[in-house]
């Protein structure tokens, strides 16, 4: 189940990361490990954080679903 393909914000963040890499590919070599590197890393971190957060939400939703499946049969016994 790949939820990321449904998220417009993730697609936009990926587009920004790609454009950032393209833009900074023409910067001088002496900036390679300075400002350019920092901006590239920050551009990549946005879609990465979205993906990581989405994965965590999916894990929580799965756990809730499993607990509910276990509890529902017990509710008939208790009533």
What is the pLDDT, as a whole number, of residue 6?
A: 83
Write out pLDDT tens, residues 20-75: 989 888 888 777 778 888 888 889 999 988 888 888 888 887 788 777 777 776 66
What is the pLDDT, as a whole number, of residue 24?
A: 86
**51 C-beta neighbours (distance < 10 Å), count:** 16
Q: Is the pLDDT of residue 16 over 90?
A: yes
What is the pLDDT, as a whole number, of residue 74?
A: 65
- Tell me which residue range forms the domain holding 43: 3-78
* Number of structural domains the chain divides into: 1
What is each CA distance from 42 to 6, 36, 48, 51, 55, in whole angstroms?
23, 10, 10, 15, 20
Domain holding 72: CATH number?
1.20.1440.60
Separation CA 35–CA 16 (nearest Å): 17
């Amino acid at each position: 189940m790949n939820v990321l393909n449904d998220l417009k914000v993730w697609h936009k963040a990926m587009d920004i990361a790609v454009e950032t890499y393209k833009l900074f590919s023409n910067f001088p070599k002496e900036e390679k490990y300075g400002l350019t590197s920092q901006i590239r890393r920050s551009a990549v971190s946005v879609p990465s954080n979205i993906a990581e957060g989405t994965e965590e939400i999916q894990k929580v939703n799965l756990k809730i679903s499993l607990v509910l499946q276990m509890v529902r049969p017990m509710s008939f016994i208790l009533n």
